Chain A
Amino acid sequence: PPPAQPLGRNLKAVLCQRCGSRVLLPGAATFAHRELLLPAMRKKAAAAAGGGGDVVREHWLVRDMFSFENVGFTRDVGNVKFLVCADCEAGPIGWHCLDDKDSFYVALERVAHE
Chain B
Amino acid sequence: MAKKTYDLLFKLLLIGDSGVGKTCVLFRFSDDAFNTTFISTIGIDFKIKTVELQGKKIKLQIWDTAGQERFHTITTSYYRGAMGIMLVYDITNAKSFENISKWLRNIDEHANEDVERMLLGNKCDMEDKRVVSKAKGEQIAREHGIRFFETSAKANINIEKAFLTLAEDILRKTPVKEPNSENVDISSGGGVTGWKSKCC
Q: Which residues of A contact B39 (CB under 8 A)?
A: 74, 82, 84, 89-92
Contact, CB under 8 Å: A69 / B50: yes
Bound form: Cα–Cα A92–B41 in Å:
12
Q: Does B171 have its Cβ within 8 Å of any Cβ on chain A? A: no
Q: How far is the CB of A112 from chain B (nearest CB, A)?
A: 13
Collect the chain A residues with CB atoms within 8 Å of residue B94's CB: none
- B47:A64 contact, CB within 8 angstroms: no
A45 contact set on B, CB distance < 8 A:
35
1/0 per residue, CB under 8 A from B, across A10-23: the answer is 00000000111111
Question: 0/1 per residue, B1-44, Cβ < 8 Å to A?
Answer: 11011100100000000000000011011001111111110111
Pick the contact of A66: B28, B34, B36, B59 (CB < 8 A). Answer: B59
CB of A72 within 8 A of CB of B46, answer yes
Interface extent on B, as a size class? 35 or more
In the assembled complex, the CB of A94 is this many whole angstroms from the nearest CB of chain B, namely: 12
State in angstroms the CA–CA spacing of A109 and B59 once bound together: 26
B193 x A43 contact (CB < 8 A): no
Residues in A whose Cβ lies below 8 Å from that of B199: 86-87
**B35 is contacted by which of A46, A72, A77 (Cβ under 8 Å)?**
A46
Cβ-based interface call for B196 (8 A): yes
List the B side residues contacting A73 at CB < 8 Å.
44-48
With beta carbons under 8 angstroms apart, the residue of A19, A22, A69, A77 that contacts B42 is A77
What are 12 A-B pairs at a CB distance below 8 A?
Answer: A22-B193, A43-B33, A45-B35, A63-B2, A65-B48, A66-B4, A71-B47, A73-B46, A74-B43, A76-B45, A87-B195, A87-B196
Q: Report which B residues bind A (CB closer than 8 A).
A: 1-2, 4-6, 9, 25-26, 28-29, 32-40, 42-50, 59, 67, 193-199
